[in-house]
Structure 1
Amino acid sequence: MTPAGALLAAALATPLAFVALCLLPGFRRRVFDLLPLAPLPALVAAVAAPGGSLLLAPAPMRLVLALDEPGAMLLGGAALLWAAAGLYARTYMATDPTRIGFAVWWLLTLAGSLGVFIVADMTSFYLMFSLVSLAAYGLVAHEGTPRAESASLIYMALAVLGEAFLLLGFVLLATAGPTGNPLIADAVASLPASPWRDATLALLILGFGLKMGLVPLHVWMPLAHPVAPMPASAVLSGIIVKAGVIGLVRFLPFDQPAADWGTALIVLGLFTAYYGVAIGITQSHPKTVLAYSTVSQMGLVAAIIGAGLELGAAGVSRLAAYYALHHMLVKGALFMGVGVMAATGARHRTLALGVMAVMALSLAGLPLTSGALAKYAAKGPLGDGLAGTLAALSAAGSALLMLHFLRLVAKTAPVRADAVAGWGLRAPWLATAAASLFAGWMLFAPAIGYAPASALAPAALWDATWPLLLGGLLAFGLARSGIGLPKIPEGDVAALAMCALPAVRRIGDGAERLDAALRRWPVAGLALMAIVLILGATLGTAR
């Protein structure tokens, strides 16, 4: 076993070993304090083992670990955020009597989320994807409130639906490729010639798009994030959705252009980007606004991936991973920052609000931040046409949404004006915020291939600045106009469907009563026979 292979094995085995050790009472009592240590082998692997691989079982039941460049970026960012959020959770949930059970769900979700970035065969990927999807239920349902129970049930229903889409897609993909348990790369290489190509691509996009939160399969996100504990929200929005990103990157055939599906994914992604903003600005809870922001940002990532599929540009997978890494760290910092702001009194929150403003506007492309670099790099595949223009304008929408978020989060404060959040909350929050800036600049040249100086040219700085100005102008105009926005409930489509259930039940009950009445009416049978005869005569005449 090579050192790189050993690191990959340790990245996956460590959180699973922690779960097994929870059977020991002594370890179980200390496991919550050890949560920040579980992802550290994965962080080392992301830095030291790119290009490494490990064969754990031979064909046909092979189990292969491998780390390519997109996987290394996302593995490193995920491990860093898991460690920071675990440290944050030690303080945030210190008095929670059920935190041991939460820790077990945390470790299982952690194992699955890291596993999807490093497994290279189809069966293992499906197992890891299922693990991260299903174990996250425990994080969503942890609070045990009616809202948490409702959100967790909807989350689980959609997670199972996503698993069904992927299982069918993987079956079709496997039938067109090598027998047994093929490597993902080998199965994808055979997809363009498959007679089931279109059906397979549709199922893959549905399954992975649901995890990313693409409209209309996004509803789990704004329902789950507000009810989960703050550290869980950070990893749900920052990391869990990236299982969908790595799925599209791994399973879509970028080596050959697929213009029809690429265009469809661009349209779906851009629609999602705008939809997330439109619904997000109607929300009144900071965490819900952040959830809709994730919907919007993942829509833009989907559009980037669609552009790569349309062009047959394999290099776009690195760009999608880079953009997802930026979002991962920034969104994790924002969720942790909501907790910091809630624990900081008015006398001490100026600096905290400043950090939150930088992180929030980074999502809109604030110059010198990782967001500006990610949006600059995205201009390449999206081009200067309609898609590129809409993507650029979506940054103005992000600015509008984030200004709305900052206004809401500035209002949250503890009762005591001199309260100060402890370092157990502030340290991991500040570390994650700093990591988003550092990682963005450090990886800009090696991952994307652009010189850092190009992002500092006057034209590039203006391209990053005008959407912020436009978003600020829209926010100012909206505030001064006095126009009241509609009160759209969290989960929008799902909430409206739930509201419609009583009416649907009443219609069903009415139909049953009408059917019963007709069955008791002797003329009903004759009338039905007459209708059938009339229809038959009409069809005969038409011929």
Structure 2
Amino acid sequence: MTLSEGLMAAAIGVPLLMLLLCASAHLRRRLPAWFAIAPLPALAAAGASQSETLVLGNSRFALRFALDTPGALLLGSAALLWLFAGIFAARFLRDRRRIDGFVVCWLMAMTGSMGVFLVADLIGFYLMLAVLSVGASGLVLDGDGPDARYAGALYLGIALLAEAFLLGGLVLLAQATPGGSLLIRDAAAALPESPWRDPTLLLLLVGLGIKAGLVPLHFWMPYAYGAAPTPAAAVLSGAAVKASVIALLRFLPFGHAWPDFGMPLAALGLFGAFYGVAIGITHAQPKIVLAYSSVSQMGFVMAVIGIGLASGDPSTVVAAAFYAAHHLLVKGTLFLAVGVVALTGTAKLRRVRVPTAVIALGLGGLPLTGGALAKFAAKDVLGDSLAGSIAVASSVATTVLMLHFLQCLGASAAADSHARAPAALTGAWLAMVLASLAVPWALYLDIPVGTLPEALAPAALWSALWPVLAGGVLAIGWNRFRRKRLCLPATDVGDVLPHVVRAGVVAAQYCSGTDAFVRRWSVSCLTLLLAALLFGGLLAVAR
């Protein structure tokens, strides 16, 4: 086994081994101290050779793991987030009496998260995605709020719905792949000539669109991220949701132009980019605002993928992965900031708010931040068409939402003005701040999305700066002229779910009563007699 293969095996094997150790209650209580160790092999694997394939199994059944450029971008970024969020979580759990469920689900979600970026075959991908979904739903269930149980059940239910669509798409992919190959690259290459091409694409886009929080099936995000403990919300909003991105980038052959599927996906994505902002600015809870920011940003990523699919542009793969990697780092950092600010008094708040402001405005494309680089990389895919102009407007909208988030964040500070968050929490958050600033630059210089002179050109800096300035002016206007805060339900369209459930219960009771009535012996005999008479009458008429 080569070094690269060993690192890929360890990237999944270490968190999986720690998960198996949870069978011992004594070891389970000690595992949080090792949370930061588990992602280290994945971090090393992201920088290793991408030419090797790891095969686990035999000729009858084997799982295959490999890395490509988008997988390496997302795996490395996710490993960094799991590392520092793990330090945050270990200190977070020290003040909790019941940690067993959190520990098990944390390691399960980490195993699935690392696996989806590494797996190279259809069966392995579905397996790792299922492990990730179960672990993530458990983390949501472990929240302290009154809605945690409902949020966890909703997260799992939506995950199963999405995976049902996805499973149908994967089966059709496998059926169309020549030679019975289950490799993702073979299935993607065979998709254009598949007799079930359109149904396959539709199933994949629906299933992965739900996973990505694409409007209108986005309502699970505010529920889940609002209810989950802070470190769990950080990894779910950052790393877990990117499983849909890597799947789309690997399953779809971008060398072929499919506007019939790409343009609707782009339209939905761009609509979601503005919808998330429009609803997010009506809320005051920082975690809910960040949840709607994820709706907006994932919508933008889906729009980039949709435009690339419509035009058949292969450069979309790296550009979308780079944008998603930046969002992964930033969103995890902002959720950790929420946890730090909640334990920090107003007298100590500036040292937290200033770095957080830089990171948050980076989502809008603040010059010299990773966000500016990500927007610049996506610009080549979107071009100067209508989609490009709408993307610029989304930068303005994102800036408005992030300034609103910063205002809400300051209002959530600890009651004790001199309170200070524990050093472990502050240190983990600060490490993620540095990673969010430095890592995108390192990645930008290493992948084919642009050059340094292009990114630092005065025209590029101005094109990144003016939407942020415009967003700042709009944010000031919003705060000055609004008379009454409009606050929609935390889950907007998801708020109709209780009514749907009640209607379903009534319908089920009615159907159950009808079924019991029909199953009575006298009613069954009468029904059979009437059916026989009707059938006989039809025969007589036919003659």
- Paired position in structure 2 for 1:517: none
After superposition, give the CA deviation of every residue in 1:432-462 in whole Å (9 maximum; x if it has no partner): 1111111111111322341112111111111
- Paired position in structure 1 for 2:201: 201
Contact 1:319 1:447 in 2 (8 A): no
Tell me the SS of whatever aligns to 1:190.
Answer: helix
- Distance in 2 (CA, whole Å) between partners of 1:179 and 1:24 is 44
1:375-390 equivalence runs, <5 A:
375-390=375-390
| Structure 1 residue 100: Cα displacement | 2.5
Contact 1:212 1:244 in 2 (8 A): yes
- Paired position in structure 1 for 2:311: 311
- Paired position in structure 2 for 1:274: 274
1:264-413 equivalence runs, <5 A:
264-413=264-413
Q: TM-score, normalised by structure 2?
A: 0.91
Amino acid at match of 1:490: A
Distance 1:502 1:103, change over 3 A: closer
Contact 2:319 2:449 in 1 (8 A): no
Could you list the runs of 5+ residues in structure 2 that have no partner in the other structure? Answer: 514-543
Amino acid at match of 2:345: G
After superposition, give the CA deviation of every residue in 1:128-153 in whole Å (9 maximum; x if it has no partner): 01111122111000036430011111
Contact 1:8 1:53 in 2 (8 A): no
- Paired position in structure 2 for 1:484: 484
| Structure 1 residue 17: Cα displacement | 0.4
Contact 1:255 1:314 in 2 (8 A): yes
1:9-28 equivalence runs, <5 A:
9-28=9-28
After superposition, give the CA deviation of every residue in 1:499-527 in whole Å (9 maximum; x if it has no partner): 566578789999999xxxxxxxxxxxxxx
| Structure 1 residue 412: Cα displacement | 1.3
Tell me the SS of whatever aligns to 1:487.
Answer: coil
| Structure 1 residue 156: Cα displacement | 1.1
- Paired position in structure 2 for 1:247: 247
| Structure 1 residue 25: Cα displacement | 4.0
- Paired position in structure 1 for 2:5: 5
1:214-229 equivalence runs, <5 A:
214-229=214-229
Tell me the SS of whatever aligns to 1:125.
Answer: helix
- Paired position in structure 2 for 1:171: 171
- Distance in 1 (CA, whole Å) between partners of 2:487 and 2:500 is 17
- Paired position in structure 1 for 2:466: 466
Contact 2:315 2:381 in 1 (8 A): no
- Paired position in structure 1 for 2:450: 450
Poorly superposed stretches of 4+, deviation over 4 Å: 499-513
- Paired position in structure 2 for 1:231: 231
- Paired position in structure 2 for 1:212: 212
Amino acid at match of 1:24: S
Could you list the runs of 5+ residues in structure 1 that have no partner in the other structure? Answer: 514-543
Tell me the SS of whatever aligns to 1:56.
Answer: strand
- Paired position in structure 1 for 2:98: 98
Tell me the SS of whatever aligns to 1:156.
Answer: helix
| Structure 1 residue 491: Cα displacement | 1.4
Contact 2:176 2:190 in 1 (8 A): yes
| Structure 1 residue 90: Cα displacement | 1.4
- Distance in 2 (CA, whole Å) between partners of 1:28 and 1:489 is 38
Tell me the SS of whatever aligns to 1:214.
Answer: coil
| Structure 1 residue 294: Cα displacement | 0.6
Contact 2:359 2:437 in 1 (8 A): no
Contact 1:59 1:180 in 2 (8 A): no
Tell me the SS of whatever aligns to 1:364.
Answer: coil
| Structure 1 residue 29: Cα displacement | 2.6
Contact 1:106 1:139 in 2 (8 A): yes
Tell me the SS of whatever aligns to 2:147.
Answer: helix
Tell me the SS of whatever aligns to 1:98.
Answer: coil
Query: Are 1:187 and 2:187 counterparts?
Result: yes
- Paired position in structure 1 for 2:39: 39
Amino acid at match of 2:478: L
Amino acid at match of 2:242: K
Count of aligned pairs between the two proteins = 513
Amino acid at match of 1:37: I
- Paired position in structure 1 for 2:111: 111
Amino acid at match of 1:340: V
Contact 1:70 1:318 in 2 (8 A): yes
- Distance in 1 (CA, whole Å) between partners of 2:241 and 2:188 is 22
- Distance in 1 (CA, whole Å) between partners of 2:89 and 2:59 is 41
After superposition, give the CA deviation of every residue in 1:163-221 in whole Å (9 maximum; x if it has no partner): 10011111111111135451001011111111211111111111111111111111111
Q: TM-score, normalised by structure 1?
A: 0.91
Distance 1:511 1:49, change over 3 A: closer
| Structure 1 residue 31: Cα displacement | 0.6
Determine what percentage of the aligned residue pairs are the same residue: 49
After superposition, give the CA deviation of every residue in 1:233-292 in whole Å (9 maximum; x if it has no partner): 000100111001001111112121112211121111101111111111111210000011
- Distance in 1 (CA, whole Å) between partners of 2:144 and 2:353 is 31
After superposition, give the CA deviation of every residue in 1:315-347 in whole Å (9 maximum; x if it has no partner): 211111111110011111100001111111111
Query: Are 1:423 and 2:423 counterparts?
Result: yes
Tell me the SS of whatever aligns to 1:54.
Answer: strand
Tell me the SS of whatever aligns to 1:391.
Answer: helix
| Structure 1 residue 61: Cα displacement | 2.3
Distance 1:512 1:53, change over 3 A: closer
